[in-house]
Amino acid sequence: MLELSLTVDWGEGPQTAQTNGWTVIQFERKTKQKYTQIAQQGLGMEDLYLLAWIALKDAGTVVPDFDRFCKQVKSVDVDAPDTNPTHGGATDEQ
């Protein structure tokens, strides 16, 4: 769950941002919560926007302060990784 691909539209057109370990550390520092707790309970809207904001900043995108960013966001979509272990794998067919 550390690596998510987020598609964010905050008025500049859709942009893709990737989360990673550093994104999660920054998230935990700002929220004073363990990411694993949030992952189990589900992400709230502010949590999702914060992850997107941090990830965009880490990618070098110039973003406004967090509150202004939240007011401008049109959409944030989580592009979850394929967790199907048989996807693309070998089959029993001969």
Which pTM was predicted? 0.78
Number of separate domains in the chain: 1
Residue 85 counted as domain residue: no
Q: How far apart are CA 83 and CA 50, in angstroms?
A: 24
Q: What is the pLDDT of residue 1?
A: 53
**pLDDT, mean of residues 2-29:** 90
Residue 35 counted as domain residue: yes
**pLDDT, mean of residues 22-29:** 93
Give the domain extent around 50. Answer: 5-77
Q: How far apart are CA 91 and CA 89, in angstroms?
A: 7
Residue 28 counted as domain residue: yes
**Over 90: is that where the pLDDT of 67 sits?**
yes
